[in-house]
Amino acid sequence: MRILVTGGAGFIGSHLAEELLQRGHEVWALDDLSTGRLENISSFEHNPRLRFLEGNVMDSTLVYELVSQCDRVFHLAAAVGVKYVLENPLRSLLTNIRGTEVVLEAAQKYRRKVILASSSEVYGKGVSVPFAEDDDRLMGPTHKLRWSYACGKAVDECLAQAYYQQYQLPVVIVRCFNTCGPRQSGAYGMVIPNMVQRALQGEPIQVYGDGQQSRCFSAVSDVVRAMLLLADSHEAEGQVFNAGSDEEVTVGDLARHIKRLCQSDSPIELVPYEQVYGESFEDMRRRVPDLRKIRRVVGFRPQVPLDRLLEITIRDHCERLGIHCPIEVPAA
């Protein structure tokens, strides 16, 4: 099968592309390299079944041409990361909404199945934990652009659902929860890469807020596996699925885990949100997925526990920094 992966040089997209190649597929990876990196695909860039195309997902002529020649589309191209979204709110909204619109239009014309990567951000300030796919959502005010990413992703989901209901376009929506692992950059505010890098370099490990907010950090290998299971499921079409891990940890405890695994002397430093993101920043206290639906439909269960995920990530950072790894970690 020839498969188009938008955002194919991004963090999740590169792992998805690599797994698809390993399964014998031909992969066309589209990325404008705004947040993606050629380094992410360097380990398999010479695979003859990989075709990398530098381009923007909002380029309708290009996207139509690519979709017409592919059998399936994984749409992962997006502006990601709290820091990036806050610094580039308009670009983020246009990329995330218009880009999805272009992909769905092309997929409808050529009747291609689309797997749409969404985000746990769409749950906003919801307090009904764990979050189930059919839960009501609660967003902050529109003048607080911290919520623009969540709103943009919600619009993406609505567009996909409309194409499914009106045109029977086969679409599957995957809400990814705090996905982490090798190749992830901390440049756009990602929690684990930033903490690991600071711990390894002996710098203060920064915890934003009071550290009591909790998350479920998911291994990218688990999220990719979930996407592929859902892509092959006819029953999943027209539906939304949470994907990731339901192992909850506070951000403060996460920092302590990372410090221990890195054998670091770095102090843990609490940093007020407003010092990093400005006065208007808001955050949710807990973010935990209900995984019963994806388990029932495709049998997905996360396989990588948090400690193992941290070990894999630390080893990846050590290799990239060219420093000795403080822990013995078997190959991923």
Question: Is CATH 3.40.50.720 correct for 2-179+218-243?
Answer: yes
132: how many CB neighbours lie within 10 A of its CB? 16
Measured distance CA(41)–CA(29) in Å, rounded: 10
- Helix%, strand%, coil% for the chain, nearest 5: 40, 20, 40
Which of 67-95 are b and which e, b meaning 16 or more Cβ less than 10 Å from the residue's Cβ?
beebebbbbbbbbbbbbbbbebbeebbeb
Per-residue pLDDT, 321? 85
Per-residue pLDDT, 332? 47
Which contiguous run of DSSP H or E holds residue 25? none
Q: Write down the pTM of the prediction.
A: 0.94
Measured distance CA(193)–CA(127) in Å, rounded: 27
Question: Residue 293: pLDDT above 80?
Answer: yes
Mean pLDDT, all residues of the chain = 94
Least confident of 54-58, 267-271, 283-287: 283-287
| Residue of 149, 163, 164, 188 marked active site | 149
Break the chain into its structural domains and give their ranges. Answer: 2-179+218-243
299: how many CB neighbours lie within 10 A of its CB? 9
**Where residue 330 falls among pLDDT bands split at 50, 70, 90?**
low
Question: Residue 204: pLDDT above 50?
Answer: yes
Least confident of 83-87, 177-181, 228-232: 83-87
What is the DSSP code (8-state) at residue 192?
H
Spatial contact of 209 and 254, defined as CB atoms under 8 Å apart: no
Bridging pattern class, strands 205-208 and 268-271: parallel
Per-residue pLDDT, 62? 98
Percent of the chain residues past pLDDT 90, beyond the cut: 80
**Where residue 307 falls among pLDDT bands split at 50, 70, 90?**
very high
Question: Residue 55: pLDDT above 60?
Answer: yes
pLDDT, one tens digit per residue, over 130-151 is 999 999 999 989 888 888 999 9
Residue 149 is among the residues annotated as catalytic for this protein: yes
- DSSP conformation letters of 78-129: ---SHHHHHHSHHHHHHHHHHHHHHHHHHHHHHT-EEEEEEEGGGGBT--SS
Cα 72 to the center of its chain, rounded Å: 19
**Which of 125, 134, 124, 117 is CA-nearest to residue 57?**
117
Work out the angle at residue 81's Cα, subtended by the Cα atoms of residues 274 and 282, and round it to the nearest 5 degrees.
Answer: 35
Spatial contact of 255 and 211, defined as CB atoms under 8 Å apart: yes
Q: What token pair was written down for 159?
A: 């567009």
